[in-house]
Amino acid sequence: MTTPTDWDAIARDHLVAIGNGGFTPCQDWELWTGLMNDVGIIPMTRAIGKTPADIGARFHAITEPFKVGDLRHVPIEAQEALVRALRGRLS
């Protein structure tokens, strides 16, 4: 079983591995919180200043390794770890 500490290490290492992809830590945070709250890609383009394709690709890059099962969902433990890792990049 993957522990919260394991998830945190996985999330931090993954964000380092994918680099910034042209997004600042603040833009990544806005992207994550916006899309997780069902804001949608078009409003996010205005908020972040990136194209819909850029936003979709970045969200995919952040979440893809964490998706599991037939529905390709991201487990809540992984989401929480990603939130901590993304928030940690803000400071």
Tens of pLDDT along 65-87? 888 877 678 889 999 999 999 99
The conformation of residue 11, written as its DSSP 8-state character, comes to: H
Contact assessment for residue 85 and residue 12, using Cβ atoms and an 8 Å cutoff = yes
Burial 61-89 (b: 16+ CB within 10 A, else e): bbbeebeeeeeeebeebbbebbeebbeee
Report the mean per-residue pLDDT for the chain: 91
- The one-letter code for the residue type at 10 is I
Tens of pLDDT along 9-45? 999 999 999 999 999 999 999 999 998 898 988 999 9
Residue 36 is predicted with a pLDDT of 86
Contact assessment for residue 7 and residue 68, using Cβ atoms and an 8 Å cutoff = no
Kindly state the percentage of the chain with pLDDT values over 70.
99
